[in-house]
Amino acid sequence: MRRHQLLQSQLSCGLQEAYNVPRISGRASTSSVHDVRYFATLLRGVNFVNRATITVTERGLTITVEEARTLLGTAFIFCDIFDEYAYHSPNPPVATSQGSEDADIVDNVAFEVPLNTLIECLNIFGTAGPASTTVSSSSKYKKWRKAGEDSDHDGDDEHGDRGRSVAGRGIDSYFTGGSEKRTSMRMTYAGEGHPLTLLLAEDATGPTTTCEITTFDPEPHLELDFDNSRMVLKIILKSSWLRDALSELDPSFDKLTFIGNPPQEPGASASRQKQKFREGSKPMLRIQAAGTFGSTEMDYPNDRDVLETFECTRSVRFSYRFAHISRTLRALQNSTKTSLRIDEEGLLSLQFLMPSPKPKGASGQSSDAFIDFRCLALDEEL
Amino acid sequence: MRFRASIANVSTFFKIIQSIEKLQKKCIIKFTETNMHVICNHDANEGGIQVWSQIKVESLFTGYRIQSNANNEITMAITSEALLAALKSASSSGASTYDTEEVIMKLAKKNAQAVLTFEINGLTRVGRRVRVSHDVKIEVLRPNDVARLNEPMCPEPDLHILLPPLQKLRTVVERLKLMSDILAVRANNNGCLRLSINTESVKVDTEWKDCANPKTQNGSENPEDAPDPNLLFTVVVHIRSFLKFLNSHVVSTTTIACICQHHCMILYVYIGDVADAGGVLTFYIPAIINDEM
Q: Measure CA A276 to chain center.
A: 32
pTM: 0.80
Which residue in B201, B205, B207 has the most chain A C-beta atoms within 10 A of its own C-beta, making it the best mutation to test that interface?
A: B201
pLDDT score at A35: 85
> What class is the B2-147 domain?
alpha beta
> Does domain A2-93+100-213 bear CATH number 3.10.150.10?
yes
Q: What CATH topology corresponds to B159-286?
A: Proliferating Cell Nuclear Antigen (3.70.10)
**To which H or E segment does residue A41 belong?**
helix A37-45
Is the Cβ of B162 closer than 8 Å to some Cβ of chain A? no
Domain boundaries, chain B: 2-147, 159-286
List pLDDT tens digits, range A14-25: 433 333 333 333
Question: Do B2-147 and B159-286 share a fold?
Answer: yes
Cβ distance A214 to B179 less than 8 Å, yes or no, reads no
> Does domain A228-375 bear CATH number 3.30.70.1450?
no
Domain boundaries, chain A: 2-93+100-213, 228-375
Q: In Å, how far is A123's CA from the nearest CA of chain B? A: 8
Cβ distance A214 to B202 less than 8 Å, yes or no, reads yes
From residue B31, give the alpha-carbon distance in Å to each of A94, A226, B4, B140, B272.
79, 75, 11, 11, 20
DSSP string, A336-358: SEEEEEEETT--EEEEEEE--SS
| A213 vs B171, B175, B202: nearest CB | B202
**Residues of A within an 8 Å Cβ radius of B:** 114, 116-117, 120-121, 123-126, 195, 205-214
Which residue in A209, A213, A215, A216 has the most chain B C-beta atoms within 10 A of its own C-beta, making it the best mutation to test that interface?
A: A209
Q: What angle do CA B174, B177, B182 make, to 5 degrees?
A: 130
Please indicate whether residue A11 or residue A371 has the higher confidence score (pLDDT): A371
Residue A100 CB coordination number (10 Å) = 6
Strand partners, A93: none
Cβ distance A124 to B200 less than 8 Å, yes or no, reads no
Cβ distance A214 to B171 less than 8 Å, yes or no, reads no
Q: Which of B77, B73, B142, B135 is nearest to B108 (CA)?
A: B135
Residue type, B134: H
| B205 vs A205, A206, A210: nearest CB | A210
**CB contacts, 8 Å: A214 with chain B:** 200-202
Cβ distance B175 to A120 less than 8 Å, yes or no, reads yes
Q: Measure CA A363 to chain center.
A: 22
Residue type, B29: I
CA B144 to CA A167: how far, in whole Å?
72
Query: Nearest chain B Cα to A216, which residue?
Result: B201
Please indicate whether residue A380 or residue A53 has the higher confidence score (pLDDT): A53
Note down pLDDT in tens along chain B; length 293 residues: 899 999 998 888 999 999 888 888 889 999 999 999 999 987 666 668 899 999 999 889 999 999 999 889 999 999 999 999 999 888 876 566 778 888 999 999 999 999 999 999 988 888 889 899 999 999 999 988 888 888 888 888 989 999 999 999 999 999 999 999 999 999 999 999 999 999 999 999 999 998 998 876 554 455 555 668 889 999 999 999 999 999 899 888 889 999 998 889 999 999 876 666 678 999 999 998 765 54
Q: Which of B194, B202, B190, B127 is nearest to B164 (CA)?
A: B194
CA A98 to CA A316: how far, in whole Å?
41
List pLDDT tens digits, range A285-337: 999 999 999 999 999 988 888 889 999 999 999 999 999 999 999 999 999 99
ipTM: 0.83
Q: Region of B272 please: left (phi>0), alpha (psi -120 to 50) or beta.
A: left
Q: In Å, how far is B193's CA from the nearest CA of chain A? A: 9
Which residue in A116, A120, A181, A197 has the most chain B C-beta atoms within 10 A of its own C-beta, making it the best mutation to test that interface?
A: A120
